Structure 1
């Protein structure tokens, strides 16, 4: 694509056909190379990426063929020459004054040409594009109002549990609306009693994620997005609006809960046991239960010591009854031995 441009250089009005790629922001980027190379690039219509000289120009026409652009440039040059008055002999004394007058005339002509060209182009574009622009603006306003109304009127009670990447991404975008986040906080304040999970916010977080996500969802995600399997390459930590909402919901039951505790919960519990939780029958609610302490060797609890003493006493009583029975049997077999024992 070539453009026919008009400009003033060395106080002379010039018309030239150049590639469109040489024109940027109303300026002709003239290459600083030899004239032979410039002519070769100009005829071929190639781009130039070296050092250039910036010249303000006015684009009169654009054509696809270089020869056609050259013809148009020649015609414009001839017309301009015809409009100029015949030169008069100028004395050496008035040469400088005449040059300044000539420059001012050219400047005025160029300004007038620019104003007329811009006015015609603006009027043409306005007539052609105004109806389309008005229709697009009206459609944009309607769509924006529709989306805001849908987000504002969407009931939280009808929340569908998140199960894949697309649903997660869409929900994260929608949570950028503060009104929707407040609706979630109000709704979950009925599920999570205020200050009921102080010091145990992870249990409240289990309840919340089971309401918002499916259990199979956690088997397809990781916290960082790095995994050896076919899990999502996008980490759960990248969804800031969702993480912020989860912290706010857990703070209903545990005001001390923060983002660091949520990160630890996701890494050490939610993603770590996601497979076993997805395979469970969900007969009981998930909760963080305290682990039992291991018994130290050589130290028995008090209750165990009591049971040990009782067992020892029962053994002593049994041995005593056994010895009494043996004595009775011996007296029946040997009366003399029995009498001796009685006498003694």
Structure 2
């Protein structure tokens, strides 16, 4: 049986500043692909996948120690599950049923709430349950976000399931329920570099989206859903990232930081993007049930990461499957409101293979 060939290992990773022990779980599938996940922020620290000649490459950015995640990750969100609300909310304010809720403004100089707040899910400690399944090793991570946490209403019961399948996929399943009307928008925030080091400028990318959501000077959607035709955001056919980023280098974002409106039906698993590295022959396909994909090219990376590597701008990129930014303030966007008796569910899959 395939599930008997997979491997799961648990080890102590460190103690938080508040004295909470953090554990790291290593999941290995039958092919030898491996992912390391810590209970702090449900963070994917390492993701080793086969490339040219069967060599394994670690394709995500991160830190070596828990202390570094606690001290530095508020600027980067390396590998974390982001919530309650991924991306930005204008003015940190939204209404549900006529009641206004105010969140912390934590987006630098911009007057926005970002990625769940000052102590979003990327800082929270999850309970972990390892499982061997016929599809590959899994880690079930649970967290109860209390009513009022970071300004959000309702007790939100969250479950995230990582599975490293025997098809070399990192599959992420999300579920959440609430006891009061609230907003929910969860995503995974790994920075990928399929070459294992250097920059992603020589990678090629395709994003399966005919439309995107233009933003204002604060990176908040204007409410329009515009065609990518004739814009730098048209990635419907493969482009080398260095060429794709060039027209955006003199803009405030210095690269991509934009939400794509994915082709296909919301709620159905569909191809969102393909990324590939000629250097390692690693190819990554992204599938999701979500309506949007935030594409960020690591434009402001500036930190020492794993193994003493320095992460400079464009050292990694994010493909964050999610609902649209600021959806609670745009009635024409897919709703992010979750009510009692409903269940938030989404699936995102990062599938790895070798080119050629």
Which TM bucket (shorter chain)?
Answer: under 0.3
- Larger strand percent: 2
* TM-score normalised by L of structure 2: 0.17
Higher relative CO (Cα under 8 Å, sequence separation at least 6) belongs to 2
Larger Rg: 1
